């Protein structure tokens, strides 16, 4: 079961295969109501790039500083989820939700 704030390696190959060559970590940002009922999920990439944009949220993931890149969100099919590698800390979840609300409000 895919849940909001799970972190997965995402297969970004043009045509998904059993042997992905282009994978990237990303956090699931779509609400669980969608995650549990449709075959797609909305994700935001995680990066170690330190670009300071208001849509990039710094956090610690796997003992390193990473950034949730909310200016590059996308919808992917579930078969592109290669492997769950963790979850975003509960303390950071409200920050992500607040930034999403700010980006899409009004």
N residues, the chain = 106
Give Cβ neighbours of residue 18 (< 8 Å, ≥ 6 apart). none
Look at residue 100 and tell me whether its pLDDT is greater than 90: yes
Q: How far apart are CA 39 and CA 4, in angstroms?
A: 14
Per the CB < 8 A criterion, the answer to whether 27 and 68 are in contact is yes
Q: What is the H or E stretch that residue 93 is in?
A: helix 93-104
pLDDT at residue 14 in the model: 76
Confidence tier at 50 by pLDDT (50, 70, 90):
confident
Q: What is the pLDDT of residues 7-45, one digit of tens each?
A: 999 998 877 666 667 789 999 999 999 999 999 999 999
CATH number belonging to domain 6-104: 2.30.30.110
**Domain extents for the chain?**
6-104
Confidence tier at 105 by pLDDT (50, 70, 90):
confident
Q: How far apart are CA 43 and CA 64, in angstroms?
A: 20
pLDDT at residue 17 in the model: 67
Q: What is the pLDDT of residues 62-82, one digit of tens each?
A: 999 999 999 999 999 999 999
């Amino acid at each position: 079961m895919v849940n909001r704030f799970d972190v997965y390696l995402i297969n970004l190959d043009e045509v998904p295969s059993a042997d992905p060559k282009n994978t990237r970590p990303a956090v699931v940002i779509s609400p669980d109501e969608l995650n549990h009922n449709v075959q797609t999920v909305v994700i935001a990439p995680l990066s170690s790039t330190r670009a300071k944009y208001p849509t990039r949220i710094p956090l610690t993931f796997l003992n390193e500083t990473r950034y949730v890149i909310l200016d590059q969100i996308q919808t992917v099919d579930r078969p592109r989820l290669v492997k769950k590698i963790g979850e975003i800390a509960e303390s950071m979840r409200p920050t992500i939700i607040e930034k999403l609300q700010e980006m899409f409000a009004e």
